[in-house]
A and B are shown apart, each in its own frame.
Chain A
Amino acid sequence: MATAKHNPGKKMIGAIALFVASGFFLLALKNMDIQSLIMAFVVPLIFLASSALIPKVFRADSLLLSLVNLLCSLGVLVLYRISPEKGINQAINYGAGVLAMILCMLAIRHLSRFKPLLVIAAGGALVLMALPVVIGREVGGAKAWIALGGLNFQPSELVKVVLVVVNAYLLSKRKVLLSIIFTGICLVFLLLQKDLGTALLYFIVSLLMMYVSTGSFALLGAGFGGAAAAGILGYSWLKSMGFAHIDRRITAWTNPWGNYENEGFQTVQSLLAIVNGGLFGLGLGAGNASKIPVRETDSIFPFIVNEFGIILGICLIILYIIIFIRGIGISSRCNHRFHSLLAMGCSLFIAFQTFVIIGGNINLIPITGVTLPFISYGGTSLLSSLCLIGLLQGIESINEDHIAQDAKMATMGDELP
């Protein structure tokens, strides 16, 4: 039987809270303002509330929870360093995200009739995905953003939660074809939005979920083969459709140093931020990565490495690996296909998204505009990542309930004459 509780202990949670608080104190010293001091209390407070209180109410995986919260609060800290305004916004996003996480936990625990809800969610998702194509605005070559009631957001970020849930549900009922169709429609919209990074995420995560459900390597091979063929065939056609920025991104990948002033600028600046930071970093607030484009979203990883060092960068990747492994643990402890597939999808999404963006930052793969889960600036992005964690935690609490029940049954059995 899998071990039931992994309590990382109050010490670790305390240490993380102190770390975040001291970061803000340091910034307060640098900026000489009260606002940073307030943040030094508020952010650790959200962290403590989320990491310490939730496990008291639900049977959650508290290690997973504190690691996720660590990443979120580190994100707020770094964003505050980049721009206090963005830091405060992100703190609000973080608070809202924690609430959304709790809602997702409750939803997965207590909703019993999913089908009608999912039909509505799937329909809504498709409408949302269609919106940016019609009324979207273009940011960084992709047309993935819409403005609703004064709020700017990326529907594809919210829809990814729906995608994982709908796919998990369909695949648990072995409706592979329906799942392919749903994913396919989403992908078409993403391609119309010219958001290739997110399309890659959707495609790979759905494909891997389908493999887990069916165990069919043929499906996996067909998926990859089809994607490669579509990529090659569609390349010239897509370019004529206004995808000129792909070409630039490929050059930026193969030869960033040859074009370090234009195409390769972002990659080169990322790599320079990393080597200038060195093993131990230049120190919070003392970094020199001021030129990296989109340092609050796509390039936040090199920015962090610049100030906190390569060692912390490696630690961050290890944290994401631990988060993924905890998620997989939850997935393999489930009693229901739906829960297991859902937990798998959530873990895969976070892990693969991390790979795509950090891989782009260090020039392992071409850079695409996706966010670093939990850390990058952005309300919808943080919200959806925390929703995925909420689903995972909800499933974990169901697992724990089952385990507790089994244990109870066993002891009851012993007591019977």
Chain B
Amino acid sequence: MKLLKSHIKIIATGMVVLLISLIVFGAYSVLTQGNRWFSSSANTYLREMKTNAIPGNIMDRNGTVLATTDAQGKRLYHQDGSVRNAVVHVLGDRTNNVGYGVESFMSNYLYGFNVSYFQRLAHALKGEKLHGNNLTLSIDSNLSRYVSSIFPTDKKGAVIVMNYRTGEVLSLQSFPTFDPDNITESVKTDPLQPFWNNATRWNSAPGSTFKLITLAASLKNIPGAAVQEYVCTGELPFADSVMRDAGNAIHNKLSLSKAFTLSCNITFGKLAQQMGDAALASTSKDFGIGDYFLFQDFVVENSVYPQKNRTDKEIAWTGVGQSALQLTPLHMCMIASAVANDGVMMEPKLLLKAVSINNEIKAQLVPKQYLHPLSKADADTIADYMNQVVKSGTGTRANVAGHRICGKTGTAEVDSQKENNAWFVGFIDEPQFPYAVCVVVMDAGGGGAVAAPIAGKIFSAITGSPLTAK
């Protein structure tokens, strides 16, 4: 019998653990993903629940009111159509066409669902509607409107401007955009899908902007990588094909810095092969590729590193940002931000403040470190290289006179498209302008020719200094 009892104890403990795991798993999922479920378009009850509450105002960082509710309960957006267009993917719209906009994703604050059951009961008994909180976002509507005005009108793409020290997002835009006050049939059926948020929910090969990560991995894994001399013969042969550089360029002997500045595929393809898939995958993981992002203020599609056990050819192509790599523009902006912020990647933030109708502060911005993928020394080296890119390499059209601008261009090939996707990531390396930018223009051409000038105009608008290049 004694033996039996000891067996009972083992099984009983196991079963209790199993039952407790229900509570732990349930609580964990609700805490980390509850708000995503609640505000998803699958939640048809949300619309019903919204009728019992008056949503608060939404303001930008300068106090410009972007959304408000009139006495009749109608939701009103900014009177200027160009502002409405510029912030619609952050804000969302009345009928949740844009998934996870503030109007739905922050409905807990905005509609006051965050009040206690008893307060809710008291309101219901008095026959009053709940009053939601007024929200202040980190968005700068002037900057957003400007960005929207310089983006090519007939192209898909995304632009993000964020503060790399705090993670505050000043502008997050997806193109083409639309007017939430005028959703016509042609908007709904547009093949460019204006409702989709390309900045957070579209992921694709980042092209040569990914060399940031290949460079970081090389500095970490290959001793003397920065001082070594490289040879570019213009070709990197594989079993069944050959990798070439853009425009079939042959760079001959060159330093790592030069290879980065000229965005030499051969050198970076070889570096990826030399360190191997495991090292590149590990550094990619350090930068958050493969993470299931659970940010407080944003729903971001995860970025994907290609499957393991691949050929030399695939590894080389990954090193230059092609193959099956997939990153979102917001994530690419975070990666550039990590380089700018001494190797620390901040969580992107949108909500500066939520204030209740009684003037209680319900939420406030708390900058939060997300990852720490780089040492300060490596971050400084990469920033120097990125500065060279803008001064004398592929990204000169992003340069602004009198400022230290860092950047990297990318030209990503996508099989199904006629033209390449143009990418640019970069930042201003100055304490008074701690801003990083990511620009993507799809199906448009080269990163240096198409995306860099847009980033340059943004840098110029932020600093108030003119562009160096015409």
Contact = CB atoms under 8 A, between A and B. Distances in A.
Given A272-B42, A278-B113, A362-B22, A344 B49 contact: no
Interface string A197-213: 00000000000100111
B239 interface: no
Interface in B47-73: 48-49
Interface stretch (B11-19, B225-233, B309-317, B339-347): B11-19
Contacts of B292: none
A110 B7 CA distance: 28
A355 interface: yes
A278 to B, nearest CB: 7
Interface stretch (B24-32, B389-397, B446-454): B24-32
B242 interface: no
B10 to A, nearest CB: 8
Interface stretch (A20-28, A180-188, A233-241, A307-315): A307-315
A275 interface: yes
B15 A314 contact: no
Contact of A317 (B15, B22, B29, B30): B22
B272 to A, nearest CB: 31
A362 B117 contact: no
B22 A358 contact: yes
Interface stretch (A111-119, A318-326, A376-384): A318-326
Contact of A309 (B25, B27, B117): B117
A352 B15 contact: yes
Residue among B6, B7, B8, B42 with most chain A CB within 10 A: B8
A354 B23 CA distance: 12
Nearest to B15: A351
B295 interface: no
B306 to A, nearest CB: 21
Contacts of A275: 30, 34-35, 37-38, 43
Interface in A261-305: 261, 268, 271-272, 274-276, 278-281, 283, 288, 291
A363 B29 CA distance: 9
A9 B299 CA distance: 51
Residue among B11, B38, B46, B49 with most chain A CB within 10 A: B11
A366 to B, nearest CB: 14
Given A212-B8, A213-B4, A276 B21 contact: no
Given A213-B4, A288-B45, A337-B4, A280 B117 contact: yes
Contacts of B38: 272, 275-276
Interface string A318-357: 1011001100100110010100110010011001101100
A206 B116 CA distance: 46
Nearest to B108: A278
A337 B35 CA distance: 51
A364 interface: yes
Instruction: Classify the interface of chain A: helix, strand, loop or mixed.
Output: helix
Given A272-B43, A364-B25, A212 B19 contact: no
A231 to B, nearest CB: 19
A67 B44 CA distance: 36
B117 to A, nearest CB: 4
Given A275-B37, A310-B30, A317-B19, A340 B8 contact: yes
A224 interface: no
B23 A317 contact: yes
A324 B19 contact: yes
Contacts of B1: 335, 337, 340
Nearest to A274: B30
Contacts of B48: 288
Interface in A210-243: 211-213, 215
A328 B8 contact: yes
B18 A355 contact: yes
B96 interface: no
B26 A362 contact: yes
Contacts of B16: 321, 324-325
Contacts of B34: 274-275
Given A358-B22, A362-B26, A211 B7 contact: yes
Given A215-B3, A260-B42, 6 more contacts: A261-B42, A275-B43, A288-B48, A332-B8, A351-B15, A362-B25
The 6 closest A-B pairs by CB, nearest first: A280-B117, A260-B42, A328-B12, A212-B7, A288-B45, A362-B26
25 contacts: A208-B15, A271-B37, A275-B34, A275-B35, A275-B38, A276-B45, A276-B49, A280-B116, A283-B121, A309-B117, A314-B23, A317-B19, A321-B16, A324-B15, A324-B16, A331-B8, A335-B1, A340-B5, A344-B8, A347-B12, A351-B15, A352-B15, A355-B19, A358-B22, A362-B22
